[in-house]
Structure 1
């Protein structure tokens, strides 16, 4: 499968801060990759390196078979950074026309606006848009040049549920048409809903790179749920939540936990054990990395 973007032993420092530490990563044609990690993990730095907005301190970054600093290569990508600024006096349609003019191959304007739920706003000035509408426009602009590869950094931050799902459908439509996407998100259910492959980064390093299910299995974490008024201190509990009269425990050793629970004599009912969500796996992975630093 064709590799569209590649990082080879890439490190990046900002003064005394090590943002990336010998990261190697390939993005292959047709993939929809979710990039997960806590704040400061290096997600945005990695996207900036792929997009040619930063240079690595060491290592090599390749984009579409060439350098990310080659304007010809960059015409084949689309990018939505975390923070975007657009002239507030221009109208939505004018912004799309302006950005489209920079690309030899352009998406159909009407179809693009429809895909991202912006058709009714075509004559609205940017300054009159809500924060969520501006964010949808910023994401739509990543697709105006019919890119082969799109980088989306926290694309749905600040959006309500309906607007997020509109963006999800727009991203899915691009991917189903053969496009390649690398996106970061703080919404872990978003990664579960969209991504086929998950890359977890922490402390500037890649902690996991696999399918959603495989990332869950890597950490070996299970969720034990039960109904109980109170519980004694139990071994191997990584996290605890209480919801609607039930207690949810995250553990790496559910068998031992249940044995100790029975031995304690504490009354309980409705015991359930199931695999983790991606959120629980993510928290366990990053917590393990922090403990090893």
Structure 2
């Protein structure tokens, strides 16, 4: 059995004269957790709609579980949790879940739905209109799981949730992925994508501008810093001798001549070098025998990579 559950081949989508998705191709594997990111209007929502069969590609091919997205068998094996929370007033949570489960040939057991979504017996007995915002989102999560789907689509799933509820939600998502289910989600909380996703697909202006693990995207785009301490005289302003000043100037000159350095900063007792290639910079520090100690290498966050990439895309257009 192929591990590919979703495939897009040279897919484009136009509305009138406006092309919102431009000739994209991608494959998504079973059991993966994929974050689709991008600014508003980047094409990510339209792409998800085509995967869900809610929109048809102008050109190209979209398949889900080797079928067209709107095929009945596909609809029975996907679950969807949209950003807008809507519930049926007048029914209890339990009644709504049972009704939705009845639509599927092999639904997930009620007890398992409760365990996954954190809905306790008291929540299940509440009428939908009495639920808090977080409880309504838990209900939507439960409904997305009702048919025991193979693929889950989440659109901004943690908006409005407190930090503890968010943490529990993503723990359950990882559990589902370990069981072989595929999870595709959008979010504006970039740290969630960084922590949870196996893969990030970054959209801008209808095209895919980055695709890889969070680590690879950060490593390929963000600036790293290499910082260290060196001789104490290097960082003091009141020197006791011309010899110390000369030594300090010599060390600074060595540092300023290092390749692979984009910017140099001095803060208190540390020198901070900004670089795109920390490995090469460390090798040069050792080869030049610059007297350093307490070396630290730090990588920017996904937020930094995202901002850097968006700026690069703007400059290229």
TM over 0.5: yes
Per-residue deviation, 1:251 = 6.9
Structure 2 alignment gaps of length 5 or more: 229-260, 264-271, 280-293
Q: Distance in 2 between matches of 1:79 and 1:250?
A: 43
Unaligned runs of 5+ in 1: 227-234, 238-247, 256-269
Contact 2:262/2:273 (8 A) holds in 1: no
Q: Which residue of 2 aligns with 1:215?
A: 217
Match of 1:140 among 120, 139, 142: 142
Taking structure 1 as the reference length, what is the TM-score of the superposition?
0.82
Name the residue aligned to 2:168: 166
What is the TM-score when the length of structure 2 is the normalising length?
0.76
Whether 2:145 is the aligned partner of 1:121: answer no
Equivalence for 1:195: 197
C-alpha distance in 2 between matches for 1:250 and 1:162? 35
Query: Corresponding residue for 2:267?
Result: none
Change (3 A) 1:224 1:92: farther
Q: Distance in 1 between matches of 2:218 and 2:160?
A: 27
Q: Number of residue pairs matched?
A: 271
Gap change, CA 1:13 and 1:249, over 3 Å in 2: farther
3-state SS of 1:142 partner = helix
Match of 1:185 in 2: 187
Q: Aligned residue for 2:310?
A: 286
Match of 1:81 in 2: 82
Map of 1:264 onto structure 2: none
The 1:96/1:288 distance shift into structure 2, 3 A limit, reads same
The yes-or-no answer on 1:90 pairing with 2:91 is: yes
8 Å Cα contact 2:202/2:210 also seen in 1: yes
SS in 1 for 2:42: coil
Which SS does the other structure have where 2:53 is aligned?
Answer: coil
Report if aligned partners of 1:254, 1:273 keep a CA contact under 8 Å in 2: yes
* Match of residue 111 from structure 2: 110
Cα distance per residue 1:112-137 (max 9 Å; x no partner): 12221112310111111122221122
Q: Any runs of at least 4 consecutive aligned residues in structure 1 with deviations exceeding 6 A, and if so which?
A: 248-251
